[in-house]
Amino acid sequence: MSNRTTFRVLAAATTLLALGAAAGCSTGGAAGADPQRVDVVAAFYPLQFIAERVGGDAVRVTNLAKPGAEPHDLELNPSQVGQVSEAELIVYLKGFQPAVDDAVAQNGGDQAFDVTGVQPLLDASAGGHNHEGEEDNAEERGAKDPHVWLDPTRLAGIGDQLAQRLGKADPDHAADYTARAAALRADLTTLDGEFTRGLATCQRREIVTSHAAFGYLADRYQLDQVGITGLSPDVEPSPQRLAQAIEEAKEHKATTIFFETLVSPKVAETIAGQVGAKTAVLDPIEGLAADSNGDYLSVMRTNLQTLQTALSCS
């Protein structure tokens, strides 16, 4: 083969590869890629979980938040903004991720499904007495707690409404969405029963948490959340708040200080060292760890086991 012929073959091959790559970029990760399924964009993991459970094989779900990343801090790249604008349904929680709120406001239109319209949010102080009267919490007074998915019964209600929205977008599969939402509700009802029974006879009912994310769980199962920091997991407590948290932990005779998977355990470890307590992971399930092979149900059951050990539940 001559050099000129070799050059032509290589040039043709390069062109084909470039065209293939362009086609892959245009369809591989973008909403609208699969005409046979409803393209759903979920803002973060718990909403991905219910969208996949209710949608089944009739939907294609894209999660904007990557595994192992803190979803509060999500910044959208241009490709993700494009996914939001092209989605047939956007499942999000207004007020939780400012970047998603902005993208929905600019591009979401009638495709947006805000779960706070299904389950009104509790006040940030629900389920405990974190920060009352503190300067640290001035910006969060009157704020709402977004972690609604930590009450399985509330998550079931969101699943039911999601089935209705999917049925409107895809009437041919409306009955399937309703059936899958009912199956999800059954699983969540079982989980709720496990928590109710498992936490019924505990020697302690206070949970000292590094991040005040567990108000719904505490409210549902009659626990008392003592939050060291507020709703934002990356906010460092002031020295005054840290000292107060140490005193509260001693007052409640806390044997465990909880921290979470996606946030540094330093604050929890500091308090635990001062009061002679252990630390343990209590997962708010804002996202799965990058190496996780679990799902919402399995992580919640791990949380239940952790609580039963820490609170000396018989």
What is the 3-state secondary structure of 195-224? HHHHCCCECCCEEEEEECCCHHHHHHCCCE
Give the whole-angstrom CA distance, residue 94 versus residue 106: 14
Residue 25: its pLDDT value, please?
37
Report which of 211, 223, 233 is spatially closest to residue 282, judged by C-alpha positions: 211
**Crossing angle between the packed helical segments 174-198 and 296-310, to the nearest 10 degrees:** 10
Give, in degrees to the nearest 5, the angle at Cα 293 between 313 and 280: 35
Domains assigned to the chain: 38-193 (3.40.50.1980), 199-310 (3.40.50.1980)
Give the whole-angstrom CA distance, residue 82 versus residue 50: 23
Q: What are the Cα distances from residue 253, in Å, to 99, 203, 311?
A: 40, 11, 11
**How are strands ordered across the β-sheet holding 224-229?**
224-229, 206-211, 256-259, 278-281
Residue 259: its pLDDT value, please?
86
Residue 80: its pLDDT value, please?
95
Sign of CA dihedral 185, 191, 197, 202: negative
| Sole residue written with tokens 């704020």 | 143
Per-residue pLDDT of the chain (314 residues; tens, 9 = 90+): 444 444 333 344 333 333 333 333 333 344 445 678 999 999 999 999 999 999 999 999 999 999 888 898 899 999 999 999 999 999 999 999 999 999 999 987 789 999 999 988 998 876 665 444 343 443 455 688 999 999 999 999 999 999 999 999 999 999 999 999 999 999 999 999 999 999 999 999 999 888 789 999 999 999 999 887 665 555 677 788 788 888 888 887 889 999 887 677 888 888 899 889 999 999 999 999 888 899 999 999 999 999 999 999 98
Q: Are the C-beta atoms of 218 and 128 separated by less than 8 Å?
A: yes
Report which of 217, 147, 180 is spatially closest to residue 58, judged by C-alpha positions: 180
Residues 6+ apart with CB under 8 A from 306: 258, 280, 281, 282
